[in-house]
Amino acid sequence: MNKPTKTIFGSGFPILLAPMAGITDMPFRELCRDFGAHMTYTEMISAKGLSYNSKNSFALLELSPKEIPCGVQLFGSEPSIMADMTRRLCDELCGRIRLIDINMGCPAPKITGNGEGSALMLNIPLAQRIVSAVKNASTVPVTVKHRLGFDDAHRNAVEFAVAMESAGADALTVHGRTRAQMYSGKADYDAIAEVVNAVDIPVIGNGDVFCGEDALRLKAATGCDGIMVARGAQGNPLIFKEINCALRGEPYTVPDWEQRRAVAIRHAKRHIEVKGERGFIELRKHMAWYTKGIVGSAQVRVAINTAPTAEALLDILEKI
């Protein structure tokens, strides 16, 4: 059957930038859209934080005109709060958001310790109530991002996916690892394929996409309806151009350091323009990722991570 992928994500086979806490801020999302990401998401946002009118939570909802409509990713374990905040977002951001994504895959202990993120894979009835509540409150599609299970003893991705579909989820994103694996080992593409074959809604594949060939491998191995890129975009927003070329069968030349430096400087200047010196510390990790693989990269990263100002950081990049 033809799954409604384009209706939900705006592309027949979408290439998506994953929501990553502390990483996928608005300047970075803009850059990824410029290089070919079909859709971006906000960083993971606490529904409870929004309900308390947290300034930090609302700051994560700053969207760029380049990415509208954008996905908003919420996390939480209380169906009523998740529903209330969904109504609020759909009302206040009407026309600016494409979908609400529910995070049921985050492996961070501070999230799972509260019964949120991937811990919800251990409580399917509660996860279903959350999805149903959000679906009933939303005026846009509702999607769920999850893993293969909490650990090897609880690999329940297919059961969980079927339950999310029955609760009203319009699409799923599956990361091919368990929560216990965090980001170690290899993503299990066979397990993602099992989910694809078990449900009638679109399934986005996620895990170990670091180049165009990886994207082709994920698509071929799983039959997924789209691809989500996470760590592969860190320090390399050009990966979206590479993936789109691979999918079209077009040649792609891996950028040299001069080209990567130009993108890094563009990223840094936009980040500073948006966040000023207050966002300088956040910028360091992005700039360090850009230098991966160059001669003397370890020493360069030390210099970047100890640069006292944004101006000093830019000077380091210029002189490499």
Which is nearest to 268 in space by CA: 320, 299, 313, 238? 313
Report yes or no: 179 and 107 within 8 Å, Cβ to Cβ.
yes
CA 245 to chain centre: 21
106 included as an active-site residue = yes
Residue from 32, 106, 224, 245 carrying the catalytic annotation: 106
Report yes or no: 300 and 294 within 8 Å, Cβ to Cβ.
yes
* CA 292/CA 305 separation, integer angstroms: 14
Sequence-distant (6+) residues with CB within 8 A of 65 are none
Instruction: Give the CA count within 13 Å in the CB-facing half-sphere of 108.
Output: 9
- 171-175: strand order across its sheet: 15-17, 226-229, 203-206, 171-175, 142-146, 97-104, 70-75, 45-46
Structure tokens at 120: 């919800």
Structure tokens at 67: 């990415």
Residues with a known catalytic role: 106
